[in-house]
């Protein structure tokens, strides 16, 4: 990949992921975990669910943002050195979904963080999640290239 150093190419070919649930029903979380099972096996593409915000290339966020989880979400995001991308998984993460009008819900992820990729669905399907990661990696590559200008 022209213009990118070895570390950047490594990040794109084997992205490390942090998955955070801001208040979902766990339906979308189960689909994220399904991506790791032998049927989908995203690790064969080098995608690793590390859960360490300090080494995160891609944030997968599920659920509507509750008032209780809001600050934790911000803390996790700010620990990642960047460039980094955020994927909102499921209708709740995209817009608040069925929980949107609840007294303790702030709304979708984009009310708190900049979201790069939206994956709708209740629950979001594993195929759509994997496709979203591919789109997110293209955005991550563009962010890396823009940082060099
Ligand atoms: S989109 Fe549906 S499955 Fe996913 S967290 Fe919301 S209610 Fe649950």
Confirm whether 8 is domain-assigned. no
Q: How many domains does the chain have?
A: 1
Residues in the chain: 149
- pTM of the entire structure? 0.95
**H or E element: which one contains 70?**
helix 70-79
Report pLDDT digits (tens) over 24-69.
999 999 999 999 999 999 999 999 999 899 999 999 999 999 999 9
Confirm whether 89 is domain-assigned. yes
Ligand 1 pocket, mutate which of 34, 87, 97 (most atoms under 8 A from CB)? 97
- Provide CB contacts within 8 A for 2, sequence distance 6+: none
Ligand 1 pocket, mutate which of 21, 24, 34, 125 (most atoms under 8 A from CB)? 24
CATH number, residue 90: 3.40.50.12280
> Which two structure tokens, joined as six digits, stand for 56?
């995160």
pLDDT confidence bin for 112, thresholds 50/70/90 = very high
Confirm whether 116 is domain-assigned. yes
Confirm whether 7 is domain-assigned. no
Q: What is the mean pLDDT of residues 133-138?
A: 97
């Amino acid at each position: 990949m022209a213009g990118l150093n070895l570390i950047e190419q490594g990040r794109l070919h084997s992205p490390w992921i942090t998955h955070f649930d801001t208040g979902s029903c766990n339906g979308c979380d189960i689909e994220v975990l399904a991506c790791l099972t032998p049927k989908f096996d995203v690790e064969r593409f080098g995608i690793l669910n590390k859960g360490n915000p300090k080494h995160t290339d891609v944030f997968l966020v599920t659920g509507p943002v509750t008032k209780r989880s809001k600050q934790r979400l911000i803390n996790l995001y700010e620990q990642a050195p960047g460039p980094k991308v955020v994927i909102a998984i499921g209708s709740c993460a995209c817009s608040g979904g069925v929980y949107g009008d609840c007294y303790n819900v702030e709304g979708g992820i984009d009310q708190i963080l900049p979201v790069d990729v939206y994956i709708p669905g209740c629950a979001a399907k594993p195929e759509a999640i994997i496709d979203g990661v591919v789109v997110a990696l293209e955005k991550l590559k563009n962010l890396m290239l823009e940082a060099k200008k």
